[in-house]
Structure 1
Amino acid sequence: MSNLGAKLSRWARKLHVPLNSKDAATDPRIPELLREGRWIGMIYFDLVDFELTEQIYGTLYCRQVLTALDELINERVEELLAPHRVLEISRRGDDLVVYFHATNSPPPSGPELSRTAEQLRERLGNELSARCKHLIPTGLNFHVGFSLIEPDDDTRENAERALYKAYKEAVLVAKNQVDALEMERRRDFTDLLMNEAIHMVYQPILRMDSGRIIGYEALCRGPANSFFTSPLNLFGYAEKTNHLYALERIARKKALAGLIELSGAMLFLNINPKVVHDPTFRADEIRDHLHELGTTPDRVVFEITERTGIEDFRSFRQSLEYYRQHGFKVAVDDAGAGYSSLQAVAELQPDFIKIDQSLIRDIDQNAIKRILVETFLTFGEKTGGRIIAEEIETADELATLQGLGVPFGQGFFLALPAYPPPPVDVAAARLMKENDTQSVRDRNSRLGRIVPVGGISQGVTTMNIHTVTKDVVDFFTGHPQVEGVAVLGDDHRPAGLIMRDKLFNQLGTQFGFAVYTERPIYLVMDPQALIVENDTPVEVVSQLAMARPDHKVYDSIIVTKNGIYHGLVSVRQLLDAITGIQVEAARFANPLTGLPGNRLIEEELLSRLGGGQPFSVIYTDLDHFKGFNDRYGFERGDQAIKMTASILTEQVSRLGRPDDLVGHIGGDDFIVVTRPEVSEAICRGVIEAFDERVPELYDPEDRKRGYINSRDRQDRPVRLPLMTVSLALIDCHPGHYQSPEELSRIAAGLKKYAKSMEGSVFVKERRHRPS
């Protein structure tokens, strides 16, 4: 059955539908209107290439588009059709039908109906594109058809048949437009292939530690201001019309031609998995072409896209091996985006693994994403796959990725795609050099309080430096569960470390037992063992332990307190502790911002209240947030909350110290725990940054007015100014406060007072409280 026939068949099964009426009690059904001799107008809409759009962008995004379409139609059609009255709006998939009527007006003429349909198509298409630009950046449009049912004897006798005929007529009008558009599009695409009317732009891939460019990704662009400008449309249409091989050949030739301008850097070349079946995609021919350009295959990386198109990974891997033998490298794109990407990494064993933007976006605010990226880093180290973070768009994302140790990066924040191949953005390059990798790692990987290594150390039996080796052997033999012991000097300070397996291996050599068993243990101990103070965070100890030479990575760590032996920590204990911290942090972090939630906040406050040291808490609340959320919806509301979390984290990182805490109580309520000497500076920094960035969240017209139209709790219209932030600051000295609940009560009063003032403000508790 044709697409048109299928649409008509579906519609024929749906004739009697209740009217979309505000007053269902007085509004008759559409067939009844026809039987009464009234005219009915019908306008049919069909989203252009929606099936292709779904293939390119995915079902989830397209469902959100249809939801936005429903909202738009319900909000705007009645106004746009005035003075006609909308009787019913029905949608099936991306097909939409609007029925309308005017009681005291004659039916519109054919030209009038055509103009009305065209105006609706243009207005609704533009507004839907604007609402969905974050989902489908290439824009959306409609095919439109129309028909009119005028009263006559046949209509009165069989209203349902008249409706069906009118629907067929409206679809055929739209269908004629589709055919004309498709013919024009096919001509344009044929001309594009014949004239090779595409061009390449190049985006740098660089080392995150130095900012040095190691490669460029070649990105294809179609003719400007056309349907094929977007590479998604371009390659999607090529695959739809079975011209993928031809288009890929042209793109490959033009991308390789740019190698001479890349100053020795690698070229990352996107290939669809299906291209391996193209007989012209031959490694020897590409190699010979590179030779003519004066370069070699090891500068070319085939970047595998569309992994869902790989039907047989084993066969595809064998095909790639043929190219690897000629010196080409392989990268897997969008790792972490779904099961197919992970399967591609496992099956293809790429030289480069490009982490999908879904894991990079807002990674500075999401602890789970950081843990997942750390997992990829570990995997890459073990398999030889070098990690590239894609789509880096903010300074915070860059800093976090540097802190995690991601070796390579790419994104708009670092450099925009361009031709000729562009350098790295000057500001981004300077920022990379300024970032202190270690401090950034500590700042962003911690969700709760720092756990000192002394808390997990064990007081294992020690040996004196003069103990003979034979006694140590006897000890290990009698205590098989002990992996290592610390060797102490006469002053009880650590002198070295003995690990069971290394001692036995050394004594097992030809003369080892005879030479060492009766001699002091210091002759066979490791005098350069890793020694840390008991208050060192376990995260830092883990980094130091993993940085040791390979033959020492699994040795125990000696823990001291003021230089005196305190205990031993095995690598297993260390990893278990870190895993526990990460799991607990993930369990009790706020899912939206990744910041510590109420459980961790309460533990921090209890610890500070019982610690005997002064500290400050800053309770943060957004003003006019509810009206903003009602006006723009939950998604924009979430953006406001995440922006606030980012501002608080930035200011505390800039002015506070590593053990300060930024927590998310819930909704638009946050808390900061810091030191009294910097608390007011943090408040001022938060207010300044918030007032500067909050206008970005508003539509241009609301931003220009300085307010939004909303309704109060009594449903009365009100004007709400742009959001501001209110902060309640409490300096806590030993003995002044007894519980987190008491602090919360004091803060509630302060916030209420702050919210009574105009603009962003902070209010400080200044009442004297006896100890």
Structure 2
Amino acid sequence: MRSWTDTLRFAFQPVVNLTTGGVVGLEILARPVGGDCLAEARRDPELDARLAVLGVRTATHRETLLPLHVNVFAATLADLGGLTPLHDTVREAGRLPWEVTVDVVPPYTHVPQPALLEAVAALRGQGFRISADGVGDGDVPLRLLTDLAPDLVKLDASLLARPAAVRAMRTLCDGLGALLCVEGVETESQCAAALSSGAQLAQGELFAPPTRLPAADVYVPPRSPGVAPLTRSGPSVREFVRPAALLPATASAGQVRALLTGSPEVSGVLLVDAAGVPVRSVHRSRFLLSMSGRYGHALYADRPAAKLGDPPRTVGIDATAWEVLDVVAVGDRDRTSDDVAVVDRHGRCMGVVRLADLVRALAETRVEEAAGLNPLTRLPGSDAITGEVDRRIAAGRTFALSWLDVDHFKQVNDGAGFAAGDELIRAVGRVLQRSASGATRVGHIGGDDFLVLADPEALDPLAAEVLDASWSAGGRPVTLSLATVLCAPGSVTDHRQAAAFLAPLKQAAKSLRGTSWVLGQVGLPGHEIRRGAGVAAGCAVAEPGRG
């Protein structure tokens, strides 16, 4: 009698890094020929676990070195309390558990959450990484998602039509220490939307369809001008992690040579201890040069490869690209091309980053930033500020958006000359930049107009430093006007709406005599006059968001 496994096949679909264009993993997909063992696996935890084991064995037979993603229903984990057979299979295959990500698949309805969380904790204890699959199109509760604290969140591509939701999920992932992946990407516009919304990884037919032979080469569309990944204070190293070629610390030089000659794309090998902690780093070129010498093979083939390696260079998974450059800059110059190992909080290797990827991305970031700088003050333009406003809205943060300008600036230019006017603008920009601290962002949007984005508690010291100064141009005294709108979570939907509430406050500030500052809050009528003498004759004061 034929078994259902006789008609079962597996396909592999690459998971792609949107920053580097490299393949960072392969998702194993069961493809039954006749019958529907997947529907049966949803009802039968033992069968579902067996499918995961068979998938890993199939991947092993394909001799892929890439990290693997294995799908398991949430109910299976809750019922079985973990996947001991999967752990045994991974070890038997010579792979390490942290090279395997368990994609926890919906549905979650009626799944006992305490049992699921306990099973996930057991998998983590064995070394497996955890992914929350089907988010956005599934039924995973937000509270459960945060309790799972996954290493990866896989978002359905249908949410790309709602970029605010994707940006919000990226913010949540940053808080959880997770990467964001978009599944089902089929078009170049979807790819661009995923990148601009903050996703670091993606998979779908656009890059490569599921195939029976693992694909290492994929199509990644060129990045459109102005489309950059969402970053914080320097790109995170998570965005550049590549799969690492790992061998046990006891591996011989012959074993390393066999791996390198059979995998030309591998730039180096990390030798790890039983816990997965890197102990030596073997650089491809230096190693093969030593082995190819006159007596190299005879001298080293059966000796430990560690003797031909160097101490590994490592960074934590939460490091930024700039911190990686600091690590590369220290030490021997002939090691600048070495891969840098990325380790988790236990010191286990999660992958490697290459210097070329970092330099390219940082250079692109600097070029884009430079293109957006105002040539007079070297401050960012409106796009940088409004983009950050949208990110804070998506993150549900309270913020204060302020508009500052010079009163009667045309008269200043006409009376003191444009050179004095330019110097005044530069001086105001310098003071704004000097007084900005923490999360405060300053932008020069043209002429004498500046935008300031800050947390509410940062407003008073910034305003005091700017407004208390004695300003002049060509010996003529000058006054400034400052308008601020406070935006609580949910009060505005995007930067355009925030700007619309700010406009009448600017009008109110300009209507006051002398240096002025008015402050309003979205949703509340009127505004508070914090600086400035009475309203000038003939000037109507508008309420925030009206008129």
What is the TM-score with the length of structure 1 in the denominator?
0.35
What is the TM-score with the length of structure 2 in the denominator?
0.48
Q: Which has the higher helix share?
A: 1
Q: Which has the higher strand share?
A: 2
The higher relative CO (CA closer than 8 Å, separation ≥ 6) is in 2
